[in-house]
Amino acid sequence: MLYNIWGFVRQSAVRIHLAAAKTIYKISGGKLPKSLYCKRANPEKIPTDVRIISENDYSTTIAKVDENGNIKSDDFVIVSTTDFHFDVDHDINTKAVKNFVQHLKDIKPDLVVLTGDNILSKYQQIDAIQFAQMMEEIGIYWTAVFGNHETREDRGFYKWLLFKSFCDYEHCLCKFGPDDMFGYGNFTVNILGEGGKLLKTLFHFDSGRDILDRDKEKYGLPADFNGYDFLKKEQIDFYKNETAKLKKQYGSADSFMYMHIPLCEYSHAFKDDGNGRFVPTGECEILYGEQYESVGCSSFNSGMFDTILETGSTQAVFAGHDHVNDWAAIYKGVHLVYSLPGGYAVYNMGDKTGKPESEWVEGVTITTLHNDGSIELAPRYNRIYL
Ligand SMILES: [Fe+2]
């Protein structure tokens, strides 16, 4: 209750601030404050056939429909991107959002998924609300998971408020998820295809930040065991139970999984050749892309990938976190994919590799779902707009 009142006050203050800035922009004859970087990207309405069919506390079911409301058999296109790291450097924010909006105008996707580190810190409500308002203006449905930069605990007021700042908007399909689960934002989006069959379920998970002392005890890890966080048992159970339910309801449970911190199995694609270059290990089929930094996964493998192999129904896992790895690969029959980074803050290809911008990997990842269940993945880089 207190969360809601205080949250309402904070969000209202941000909305008034943004409305005032937009008004000043209008009456000043186009002098746009730098902080309104989403406005600088010139967002415009993009028509969509996607409609919400049903929803509950942790899931939304959507489909592309024709003018009579019948579900269409068209391809369903998902754009994923990651690590915007919206921050006080508004020039960098502007560059990121301009490219992102241009991709959306050119691709006209059916859904957008952000795989975390969208906002640099949990206090930056203004960036969350500004981004959500821009997505309303564009009119494409979107989802997001949290990254390690948005969180310093599994639950807390500002983390809650940041997530609520997304959820409050009509085109955001984020859900807080079951109460008894780690973090905020463990939810699903079901995409229906022709005849109402399940085309794909998109599992979204909060992959946390650093391993908490509480979890070291719970998972039998030594007190000095540190590193990035991992998916918790209740999240794995949620995935198992939901998959079983979907199989019962639809006769199939084909799915994708979105999270910020990559699963440990991402480490099987490339290895350091001893000279600081990463080369394929031979354990995976590399579909495209390169690795320029070590996989920033947890040092503890809590078993999500093994559960994926057990259920046999997840075709692809999407992660963010490592800003300069742009590859997609198949490991043990499962696609492991990096969403291309949308942002340039904290570190980027230039900082990390010294390469010219014409070779940078920032951009978006396009996933096309065909009605026969097959999928296509393609990177689309910001460098095409240079
Ligand atoms: Fe990041």
Among 97, 128, 104, which Cα is nearest to 44's? 104
Number of helices (H) and strands (E), helices first, in the chain?
9, 16
**20 Cα: distance to centroid of ligand 1 (angstroms):** 31
Is 135 buried (19+), middle (13-18) or exposed (0-12) by CB count in 10 A? buried
- Helices 125-138 and 157-167 cross at an angle (nearest 10°) of 10
Indicate whether 5 and 110 sit together in one domain: no
Q: Which residue has the tokens 């890890």?
A: 221
Q: 87: domain range?
A: 40-385
**300 Cα: distance to centroid of ligand 1 (angstroms):** 20
**318 Cα: distance to centroid of ligand 1 (angstroms):** 14
Indicate whether 12 and 58 sit together in one domain: no
**309 Cα: distance to centroid of ligand 1 (angstroms):** 28
Q: How far apart are CA 342 and CA 356, in angstroms?
A: 17
Q: Which residue has the tokens 């079911």?
A: 61
C-alpha pair distances (Å), 376 with each of 161, 204, 369: 35, 20, 7
Indicate whether 220 and 334 sit together in one domain: yes
Indicate whether 76 and 13 sit together in one domain: no
CATH of the domain at 290: 3.60.21.10
C-alpha pair distances (Å), 216 with each of 146, 184, 305, 306: 21, 20, 20, 21
Indicate whether 133 and 163 sit together in one domain: yes
Q: What are the helix (H) ranges across 198-268?
A: 213-218, 233-250
Indicate whether 27 and 118 sit together in one domain: no
Contact 157, 125 (CB under 8 A): no
**139 Cα: distance to centroid of ligand 1 (angstroms):** 26
Q: How far apart are CA 137 and CA 171, in angstroms?
A: 9
Query: Which residues are CB-contacts of 176 (< 8 A; sequence separation ≥ 6)?
Result: 57, 58, 163, 167, 184, 185, 187
Indicate whether 151 and 288 sit together in one domain: yes
Contact 142, 112 (CB under 8 A): yes
DSSP state of 210: B
Q: How far apart are CA 37 and CA 294, in angstroms?
A: 32
**66 Cα: distance to centroid of ligand 1 (angstroms):** 39
Q: pLDDT at position 201, please?
A: 98
Count other Cβ atoms within 10 Å, centred on residue 231: 27
**211 Cα: distance to centroid of ligand 1 (angstroms):** 17
**199 Cα: distance to centroid of ligand 1 (angstroms):** 30
Q: pLDDT at position 151, please?
A: 85
Indicate whether 340 and 207 sit together in one domain: yes
pTM of the model: 0.97
Is 172 buried (19+), middle (13-18) or exposed (0-12) by CB count in 10 A? buried
- pLDDT by 10-residue block (mean), the chain, 386 residues: 87 92 84 87 96 97 96 96 94 97 98 97 93 98 97 90 96 96 97 96 98 94 95 98 98 97 98 95 98 97 98 98 98 98 95 95 98 95 98
**353 Cα: distance to centroid of ligand 1 (angstroms):** 16
Q: pLDDT at position 88, please?
A: 85
**298 Cα: distance to centroid of ligand 1 (angstroms):** 15
**322 Cα: distance to centroid of ligand 1 (angstroms):** 7
**72 Cα: distance to centroid of ligand 1 (angstroms):** 36
Indicate whether 57 and 6 sit together in one domain: no
Contact 205, 177 (CB under 8 A): no
Contact 100, 6 (CB under 8 A): no
Indicate whether 172 and 252 sit together in one domain: yes
Indicate whether 241 and 262 sit together in one domain: yes
**117 Cα: distance to centroid of ligand 1 (angstroms):** 5
Q: How far apart are CA 235 and CA 203, in angstroms?
A: 10
Q: pLDDT at position 222, please?
A: 94
Contact 295, 320 (CB under 8 A): no
The enclosing H or E element of 159 equals helix 157-167
- Give the dihedral of Cα atoms 64, 66, 69, 75; nearest 10 deg: -20
Contact 339, 317 (CB under 8 A): no
**114 Cα: distance to centroid of ligand 1 (angstroms):** 12
**372 Cα: distance to centroid of ligand 1 (angstroms):** 35
Indicate whether 28 and 51 sit together in one domain: no
**344 Cα: distance to centroid of ligand 1 (angstroms):** 10
**323 Cα: distance to centroid of ligand 1 (angstroms):** 6
**50 Cα: distance to centroid of ligand 1 (angstroms):** 30
**336 Cα: distance to centroid of ligand 1 (angstroms):** 18
Query: Which residues are CB-contacts of 265 (< 8 A; sequence separation ≥ 6)?
Result: 305, 331, 332, 334, 336
| The total number of structural domains that make up the chain | 2
**82 Cα: distance to centroid of ligand 1 (angstroms):** 8
Indicate the SS3 state at residue 192: strand
Q: How far apart are CA 290 and CA 273, in angstroms?
A: 13
**39 Cα: distance to centroid of ligand 1 (angstroms):** 23
